[in-house]
Amino acid sequence: MKRVRNPRYAFPLRSLALATCFSTASGLALAQDQTDEQKLLEGIQNGERVEISLPDPETQLPLDDLRKFTEVFSRIKDAYVEEVGDRQLLESAIKGMLSDLDPHSTYLAPKDYEQLEESTSGEFGGLGIEVGMENGFVKVIAPIDDTPAQKAGVQAGDLIIKLNEKPVKGMSLEEAVKLMRGKPGTTLTLTIMREGQNAPIEIPVERDVIKVTSVKSRMLENGYGYVRITQFQAETGSQFIGA
């Protein structure tokens, strides 16, 4: 049998039946795969001297820190004022590991990753308005040029108080944006308050594929040009060069 290089321990094993793990001073060293296990068993059966290479303890996960993690995990489960699911705790732990590295590293859950891909692609199904929050309502910052919202008459400064029949008051901006986006061809009725109007206005808007222009440019005068990056997307670099 071929010997393992740089062994840590060597044992003459003639009649000892081995399982898939070997007890060591620092813990358990598991057989890496079935091939290694088979070679070991063959060597034992043939009465050969079998050399076992054990992993370096310094390269293994620190057991004391793992015990600390599981102890904190268990105490939160048992003693926190509200019930917390295992998945939530594990995702929070992962987020904490990454956020502690630097301001640019973060963990994205599947839904968050989909939203990131959507925003960086520059295309999504929606109304075509830039919005913010004001006094608990969604405020239209500006309708995007050539989008359903602009064509339907939505104006900058409008306060959206209802999305279809759902009051906006109490929603987060993320929740409201999620309701406004949707499958192209479907209709959403915006109930808005507009300065100078005594009563709310209802504006039905048909969703469409919104293509957000990442780079806008124009000539100012001879020899001078103006380039504006509205938001960074996957095609921002090529659009900037083409401007």
Rounded Cα distance between 135 and 160, Å, is 11
The CA–CA distances, whole Å, from 75 to 68, 89, 92 equal: 11, 12, 15
What are the structural domains, with CATH classification, of the chain?
Answer: 9-59 (no CATH), 63-107 (no CATH), 125-210 (2.30.42.10), 213-243 (no CATH)
Tens of pLDDT, residue by residue over 68-119, are 888 999 999 888 988 888 988 888 888 888 888 887 777 877 777 776 666 5
Predicted local confidence at residue 27, as pLDDT: 39
Q: How confident is the model at residue 36 (pLDDT cuts 50, 70, 90)?
A: low
Tens of pLDDT, residue by residue over 14-29, are 333 343 344 333 333 3
Rounded Cα distance between 101 and 104, Å, is 8
With CA atoms as reference, report the closest residue to 155 among 214, 119, 205: 205
Mean pLDDT taken over the chain: 77
Is the distance from CB of 216 to CB of 227 less than 8 angstroms?
yes
- According to DSSP, the residues that pair with 221 across neighbouring strands are 224
* pTM greater than 0.75: no
Is the distance from CB of 190 to CB of 203 less than 8 angstroms?
yes
The tokens describing 97, both together, are: 């590991």
Q: How confident is the model at residue 188 (pLDDT cuts 50, 70, 90)?
A: very high
7 Cβ neighbours under 8 A, 6+ residues apart: 51, 52, 53
**How confident is the model over 204-223, as a mean pLDDT?**
83
The tokens describing 223, both together, are: 């020899």
Predicted local confidence at residue 33, as pLDDT: 52
